[in-house]
Amino acid sequence: MRHTTAGTVRTRCVRDTPAPEDGQRVLITRLWSRGMTRARVAAAWDRRVAPSRERLMAYRSGGLSWTAYVGGGAAEP
């Protein structure tokens, strides 16, 4: 029987300096951040699990809180 341990998932701003306690960083967004290199941002980029572009634009315009933005992504098609 194989056992796995669930890890902790934390959200951080893409522009935050990576810290040793971050572990593996995965960028979860549909749009790449302007001026950011892959080496600086994350070990991987997976836009398939990111909230929709519409949800991102609603967050950026102030129509959606951070909690609603990150909490509702899994419910989208």
Whether the Cβ atoms of residue 45 and residue 27 lie closer than 8 Å to each other: yes
Residue-number span of the structural domain to which 55 is assigned: 20-75
Q: Of 45, 47, 57, 49, nearest to 77 (Cα)?
A: 49
Using an 8 Å Cβ cutoff, are 43 and 18 in contact?
no
In a domain, 69, yes or no: yes
Q: pTM for the whole thing? A: 0.55
In a domain, 53, yes or no: yes
The residue that leads in pLDDT, 76 or 23, is 23
Residue 18, pLDDT above cutoff 70:
yes
Per residue in 25-77, pLDDT tens? 887 777 777 787 777 776 787 778 788 888 888 988 998 888 888 776 555 65
Is residue 12 a part of any domain in this protein?
Answer: no
> Does 2 score more than 80 pLDDT?
no
